[in-house]
């Protein structure tokens, strides 16, 4: 761990700066006059930039690189603003921004259909229903419990220890002979240079693999994977939706006339 910390000082610096920004923005345990939000925002943004910038530029061209920075910084900073906003309506709207930026990242990872589906499901359905409930329940603005937080310092510090562990695991080169490297027949640093096409002999779900007609992420390939390899799972997902629908109707309170 010390080796990683001395080898990646920019990552450690970004993590600490980001955590400090969240701690600055987090409302305290008592209702008080809010601090100015700009310093926390600047700290969070610089931390995110340092953390993502330390991960190596890769071989992407300028446009893809610009789009990555736009969407990544947008998603992470909007997430920070979402969990620290004192008005729940603002939180829901920042969550919509996070969803849009995540869908942009999906497109960059060649998943255009998934991006469209996520926007439709989240921005179209989930956020609208959540905003509906917030506006039904809190018609008089922010309540006292929205302006305070529970255990903000402990939660932030422990969560960033977890994030540091994940970043360390990502940035540590894979040891030779680990299962991923052996299965893909490529070594360590070459994974990104040559996208590892898995050996069909070692993969159970051969319909999901990429070939000439079925690129990764287009509708043809994704449909072949879903309705070929995962047909039973699709049926079970449909059943799950039906059961959840029945359950939601059964749990929701009966409505008296003219009330919630």
- Binding to other proteins, residues 194-223 (CB under 8 A): 195-198, 203, 205, 208-210, 214, 216-217, 221-222
Sole binder of other proteins in the list 35, 66, 182, 189 (CB under 8 A): 189
52 binds other proteins (CB under 8 A): yes
The token duo for 142 is 């922010």
Closest approach of other proteins to the CB of residue 39, in Å: 19
Window of 1-9, 32-40, 81-89 that interacts with other proteins by CB under 8 A: 81-89
Token look-up 């603005």 returns: 141
Coil, helix or strand for 211? coil
Sole binder of other proteins in the list 17, 43, 49, 75 (CB under 8 A): 75
Window of 1-9, 34-42, 52-60 that interacts with other proteins by CB under 8 A: 52-60
**CB neighbourhood size of 74 (10 A):** 18
- Cβ proximity to other proteins, 42 vs 219, nearer residue: 219
Closest approach of other proteins to the CB of residue 26, in Å: 7
Helices 127-137 and 88-108 cross at an angle (nearest 10°) of 170
41 binds other proteins (CB under 8 A): no
Nearest to 115 by CA among 79, 75, 81, 167: 75
Give the total residue count for the chain.
260
Binding mask 92-131 for other proteins (x = CB under 8 A): x--x--xx--x--xx-xxxx-xx--xx--xx--xx--xx-
Coil, helix or strand for 56? coil
Evaluate whether 15 touches 163 at the Cβ level (below 8 Å). Answer: yes
Token look-up 């969407």 returns: 71
């Amino acid at each position: 761990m010390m080796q990683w910390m001395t080898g990646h000082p920019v990552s450690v610096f970004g993590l600490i700066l980001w955590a400090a920004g969240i701690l600055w923005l987090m409302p305290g345990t008592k209702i008080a006059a809010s601090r100015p939000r700009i310093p926390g925002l600047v700290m969070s943004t610089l931390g995110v930039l340092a953390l993502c910038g330390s991960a190596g530029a890769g071989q992407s061209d300028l446009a893809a690189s610009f789009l990555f920075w736009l969407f990544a910084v947008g998603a992470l900073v909007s997430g920070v603003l979402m969990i620290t906003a004192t008005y729940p309506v603002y939180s829901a709207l920042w969550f919509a921004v996070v969803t849009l930026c995540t869908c942009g990242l999906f497109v960059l990872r060649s998943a255009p259909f998934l991006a469209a589906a996520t926007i439709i499901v989240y921005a179209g359905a989930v956020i609208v229903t959540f905003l509906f409930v917030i506006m039904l329940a809190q018609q008089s603005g922010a309540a006292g419990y929205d302006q305070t937080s529970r255990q903000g310092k402990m939660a932030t510090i422990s969560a960033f220890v977890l994030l540091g562990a994940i970043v360390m695991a990502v940035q540590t080169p894979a040891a030779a002979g680990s299962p991923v490297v052996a299965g893909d027949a490529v070594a360590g640093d070459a994974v990104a240079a040559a996208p590892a096409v898995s050996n069909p002999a070692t993969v159970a779900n051969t319909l999901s693999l990429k070939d000439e007609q079925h690129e990764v992420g287009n509708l043809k390939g994704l449909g072949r994977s879903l309705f070929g390899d995962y047909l039973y799972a699709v049926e079970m997902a449909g059943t799950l939706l039906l059961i959840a629908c029945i359950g939601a109707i059964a749990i929701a309170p009966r409505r008296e006339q003219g009330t919630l």
